[in-house]
Amino acid sequence: MAVLTGKPAPHFKATAVINGVEIVENFSLDQFIGKKHVIFFFYPMDFTFVCPTELIAFQEKIEEFEKRNVAVVGCSTDSAYSHFAWLNTEKNKGGIKGVKYPIVADLSKTISRNFDVLAGEYEINDEDEYDFDGEPVAYRGLFLIDKQGIVRHQVVNDMPLGRSVDETLRMIDALQFFEENGEVCPADWHKGNEGIKANSEGIADYLSKH
């Protein structure tokens, strides 16, 4: 598994569904550079079990992301037409109707591979034919990307393990606190807590208080 933290997020242009109803071509995270932080997250498949709980949870707290000037973008290896159908299926029928943030279609699996969250890879067998070893879907990868397009935080869960939206917000708060104040964030830091000056005196002062 590649560590992308501290590196530029891989570039891509792909089809996406935005506002739950519009299919657009050439969607790219580049549009947010210099303007917004981005949460870019992968999930395995549309019309599954854990996935709708995550996508709906992000939508339910979308105002918290907007207050922090953060764009939320989802992605899976399904087609844009699958995304569109899922986005227009009622929740009581397994759909995610009401989700408005963009969902990228990675049907070619190249985005998942470039972010190194694809749960398998192509191999050539003894007959010189391509086989796929593993599952041709994405793990639950999540990437916090700053305004310069640099990955500042990443987490990758196995497929049965849903993520915490609150923890995602906490990491955004920590990054923005550091960017604004130049102080680093200790363990279990939450918005409103004090930071640490990044020197020996700063850590000594912090530890003496705790």
Residue owning tokens 């923005």: 176
Q: What angle do CA 3, 41, 122 make, to 5 degrees?
A: 65
Alpha-carbon gap, residue 161 to 164, rounded angstroms: 10
Q: Is 51 a catalytic residue?
A: yes
Length of the chain: 210
78 Cα distance to chain centroid: 16
Would you tell me how many other CB atoms lie within 10 Å of the CB of residue 86? 25
Separate counts of helices (H) and strands (E) for the chain:
6, 9
Strand order in the sheet with 140-145: 22-27, 14-18, 103-105, 70-76, 37-42, 140-145, 151-157
> Choosing from 17, 51, 117, 137, which is the catalytic residue?
51
Q: Which residues lie closer than 8 Å to 172 by C-beta, 6 or more apart?
A: 37, 39, 65, 68, 70, 144
Q: Catalytic site residues?
A: 51
